Amino acid sequence: MAETLKLLAPSWDELYTLLTELAKSIRTEYRPEIIIGMARGGFIPARIISDLLDVPTIGTIGVAFYEDIGKRMKKPTITQALNIEVKSKRVLVMDDIVDTGESLAIVVAEIKGRAKEVRTAVIYRKPWARFIPDFSVRETDAWVVFPWELRETVKKIGRKLLDSGKTLPEVENFLTLAGINERLAWTFLEDLREETHP
């Protein structure tokens, strides 16, 4: 897995810079009245974009598609209903990344009939995405490890690598070479250390 898994681990500062760039791009074309953050990856970007665009009204909607690193369900499903009224409003749906785009597409379909207008924004877009968001800042073919999901991602990747025969030092080295803070990688791998050395 380590040989085939390509990771990108942007820092908080890098992401804030990218979100500032994204907000500038959105502002030139669109004035949303409501921002919807897709659960869970879109929560934090939606909050930051709401600040950068001076749009204080934020809602959420939950979608599940990934079961594990690189492992999707057959199709995405809405797991949490939209928690805000969007009727006759200009809406911006926000997520951290678009892979296939199916999650974003299902959310747009859910909102489109009610809202005045719906646009979409993500930080990263995969080159193979079938649903292209209206706004994005970077394209990547890597698995992006966001700071807001660091612990769960380190544990999932760590477990997969250990199951494939890697040692804990090799796992830690792989993660830190990918740009994950060494101290945090070590901290989040602690549970796996205890499992392998009770």
pLDDT tens for the chain, residues 1 to 198: 555 788 999 999 999 999 999 999 999 999 999 999 998 899 999 999 999 999 999 999 998 865 555 555 668 888 898 999 999 999 999 999 999 999 999 999 999 989 999 999 999 999 999 999 999 999 999 999 999 999 989 998 998 898 889 988 899 999 998 889 889 988 888 877 777 665
User: Is the same domain home to 31 and 78?
Assistant: yes
Residues 43 and 137 in one domain: yes
Give me the number of domains the chain comprises: 2
Do 30 and 86 lie in one domain? The reply is: yes
Asked whether residue 127 is assigned to any structural domain, the reply reads: yes
In a domain, 22, yes or no: yes
- What domain range is 174 assigned to? 148-193
Separation of alpha carbons 174 and 5, rounded Å: 10
Same domain, 157 and 175: yes
Query: Is residue 3 in some structural domain?
Result: no
Regarding whether 182 and 106 lie in a shared domain, the answer is no
Question: 132 Cβ partners below 8 Å, 6+ apart?
Answer: 98, 101, 125
19 and 85 assigned to the same domain: yes
In-domain check, residue 2: no
Angle made by CA atoms 33, 35, 40, in degrees to the nearest 5:
170
What is residue 75's three-state secondary structure? strand
Structure tokens at 153: 């991602």
CATH number of the CATH domain containing 103? 3.40.50.2020
HSE of 31, CA atoms in CB hemisphere, 13 A: 0
5: left (phi over 0), alpha (psi -120 to 50) or beta: beta
| Residue 47 located in a structural domain | yes
Model-wide pTM > 0.75 = yes
